[in-house]
């Protein structure tokens, strides 16, 4: 696998820098015959955009996705689907204030160490803006899954210290924070206004649920479905922990509590609980898949921070301009996209894992 791609059969490759000409995504391996148009993808892109949220920086351009290849007469052709968002907001700016310093919590220093120099314009490739390519690619995966009855839903579980106590799915789209709990959303908003006043920032927790996944996806050892999810979700910038099912709680529970029983129900086998979060031995068990990701606070804050410049000087740094006090709500759709990519890939891989499948597809009558 090369460094900017993810997936084995449903492969997403992304490119682009925050303040370059464009950012884009190539999906290679999407099966032929999936109904797809730009509006399908734009819907996901718009969920990532700040809208009127007081907690997100507006960028001028509308981030319009264009499909450049791989779709013909409204259907995917089986060949690479190339998509791009062109940066309209490309006026030349003055970067002299950041090109020689290293912002705490950002990748400025590590990029310089890795490559010898960096594209310092707006964070370049390390900007959160790269996630729009994940969303574009993930949107296609999510549509493919939907055609097969598989759905991914993510939402904000907590903002800073404020966690949801309730789950009302209809609320998710009703507040700027994507929280399924109206009261928690209000408390979290108040908390964020306080953060902003203190020139500080907050993190939070995103939870996701995947329904309709057939049992049997994922591979036994290194290709475990939970391992693929963990890798994909941790690759979202600012994520510092990933859980599956009971996650961290599992470590302090007993076997008799954590094991999910089996039972026959209407002629099929079901689990009587779902501590495992839908994955056993790295393979989907037919229950809902549950995941959680923990997001660190936005590193750009206006408070003074200790840092350095390239001239060998220690400096006090105040990051000007307007910055999102929290990125969690905008990352919700990114989490859905990454989960969708992993499940779609596992589904395509599974197609060739049994001789009876191959015979269904290839055996001559």
Closer residue to a copy of itself in complex, CB, 44/102: 102
What Rg value do the Cα atoms of the chain yield, rounded?
22
Residue 138: CB minimum distance to a copy of itself, A = 12
Q: Are 114 and 62 in contact (CB under 8 A)?
A: no
Site string for a copy of itself, 209-238 (x = CB under 8 A): -----xxxxxxxxxxx-xxxxxxxxxx-x-
How many other CB atoms are found less than 10 A from the CB of residue 188?
29
Q: Are 330 and 239 in contact (CB under 8 A)?
A: no
Task: Verify binding: residue 247, a copy of itself, rule CB under 8 A.
Answer: yes
Report the greatest alpha carbon distance in the chain. 77
Task: Verify binding: residue 92, a copy of itself, rule CB under 8 A.
Answer: no
Q: Are 131 and 334 in contact (CB under 8 A)?
A: yes
Q: Which of residues 44-83 bind a copy of itself (CB under 8 A)?
A: 66-70, 72, 75-82
Residue whose structure tokens are 């993510």:
154
How many other CB atoms are found less than 10 A from the CB of residue 30?
27
Task: Verify binding: residue 195, a copy of itself, rule CB under 8 A.
Answer: yes
Number of residues located near a copy of itself, criterion CB under 8 A: 171
List 89, 166, 168, 313, residue binding a copy of itself (CB under 8 A): 313
Q: Are 175 and 245 in contact (CB under 8 A)?
A: no
List 130, 207, 288, 336, residue binding a copy of itself (CB under 8 A): 130
Q: Which of residues 5-44 bind a copy of itself (CB under 8 A)?
A: 5-9, 11-17, 20-24, 26, 28-29, 31-34
Task: Verify binding: residue 165, a copy of itself, rule CB under 8 A.
Answer: no
Residue 354: CB minimum distance to a copy of itself, A = 5
Task: Verify binding: residue 94, a copy of itself, rule CB under 8 A.
Answer: no
Between CA 334 and CA 280 the distance in angstroms is 25
Instruction: Using CB atoms within 10 Å of the CB of residue 137, give its burial: 0 to 12 exposed, 13 to 18 middle, 19+ buried.
Output: buried
Q: Which of residues 248-267 bind a copy of itself (CB under 8 A)?
A: 248, 250-264, 267
Site string for a copy of itself, 325-344 (x = CB under 8 A): --------------------
Residue 310: CB minimum distance to a copy of itself, A = 9
Interhelix angle 328-350/225-234, rounded to 10 degrees, is 150
């Amino acid at each position: 696998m090369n460094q900017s791609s993810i997936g084995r059969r449903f492969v997403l490759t992304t490119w682009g820098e925050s303040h370059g000409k464009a950012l884009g995504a190539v999906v290679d391996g999407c099966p032929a015959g999936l109904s797809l148009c730009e509006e399908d993808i734009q819907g996901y892109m718009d969920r990532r955009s700040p809208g009127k949220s007081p907690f997100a920086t507006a960028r001028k351009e509308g981030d319009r996705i264009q499909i450049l290849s791989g779709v013909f007469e409204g259907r995917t052709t089986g060949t690479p689907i190339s998509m791009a968002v062109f940066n309209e907001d490309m006026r030349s700016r003055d970067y002299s204030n950041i090109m020689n310093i290293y912002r705490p919590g950002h990748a400025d220093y590590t990029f310089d160490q890795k490559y010898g120099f960096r594209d310092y314009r707006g964070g370049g490739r390390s900007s959160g803006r790269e996630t729009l390519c994940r969303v574009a690619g993930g949107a296609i995966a999510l549509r493919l899954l939907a055609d097969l009855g598989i759905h991914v839903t993510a939402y904000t579980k907590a903002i800073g210290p404020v966690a949801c106590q309730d789950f009302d799915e209809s609320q998710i789209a009703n507040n700027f924070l994507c929280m399924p709990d109206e009261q928690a959303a209000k408390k979290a908003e108040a908390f964020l206004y306080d953060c902003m006043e203190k020139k500080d920032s907050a993190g939070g927790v995103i939870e996701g649920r995947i329904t309709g996944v057939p049992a049997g996806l994922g591979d036994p050892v290194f290709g475990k479905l939970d391992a693929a999810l963990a890798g994909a979700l941790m690759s979202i910038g600012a994520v510092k922990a990933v859980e599956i099912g009971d996650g961290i709680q599992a470590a302090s529970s007993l076997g008799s509590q954590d094991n999910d029983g089996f039972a026959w129900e209407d002629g099929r086998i079901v689990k009587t609980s779902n501590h495992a979060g839908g994955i056993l031995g790295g393979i989907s068990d037919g229950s809902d898949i549950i995941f959680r990701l923990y997001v660190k606070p936005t590193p750009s804050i206006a408070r003074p921070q200790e840092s350095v410049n390239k001239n060998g000087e220690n400096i006090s740094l105040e990051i000007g301009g307007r910055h999102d006090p929290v990125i969690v709500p905008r990352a919700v759709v990114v989490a859905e996209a990454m989960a969708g990519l992993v499940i779609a890939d596992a589904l395509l891989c599974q197609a060739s894992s049994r001789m009876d499948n191959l015979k269904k597809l290839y055996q001559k009558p």
